[in-house]
């Protein structure tokens, strides 16, 4: 027996991916995100393995700083 969507809490349905199929996120969006992730993963891995360790770590640190400042900006602006 397949459980109904109403049997799942909303967050569990999203985490399990069931929410996208039920219309919460939209199947076309999920397909596009999955396709782009699969395409760009190989490029990112090749780039990461081709780089020296120090520049890669700096790039990762800059990315984390940008994300942190964006989170702070969103928290302050409301």
Q: pLDDT tens digits, residue range 3-45?
A: 555 555 555 445 555 555 555 567 777 888 888 888 888 888 8
Query: Residues 6 or more apart from 29 whose CB is under 8 A from it?
Result: 20
Domain extent, residue 53, equals 5-77
The residue-averaged pLDDT of 45-72 equals 90
58-68 pLDDT tens trace? 988 999 999 99
Burial class from Cβ neighbours inside 10 Å (0-12, 13-18, 19+) for residue 21 reads: middle
The residue-averaged pLDDT of 48-54 equals 85
**How many independent structural domains does the chain possess?**
1
Question: What pTM value is reported for the model?
Answer: 0.45
The overall longest dimension of the chain from CA atoms, in Å, is 54
Residue 26, both tokens: 């939209």
């Amino acid at each position: 027996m397949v459980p109904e969507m109403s049997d799942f809490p909303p967050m569990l349905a999203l985490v399990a991916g069931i929410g996208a199929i039920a219309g919460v996120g939209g199947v076309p969006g999920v397909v596009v995100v999955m396709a782009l992730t699969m395409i760009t993963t190989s490029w990112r891995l090749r780039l990461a393995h081709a780089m020296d360790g120090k520049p890669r770590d700096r790039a990762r640190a800059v990315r984390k700083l940008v994300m942190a400042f964006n989170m702070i900006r969103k928290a302050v602006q409301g």
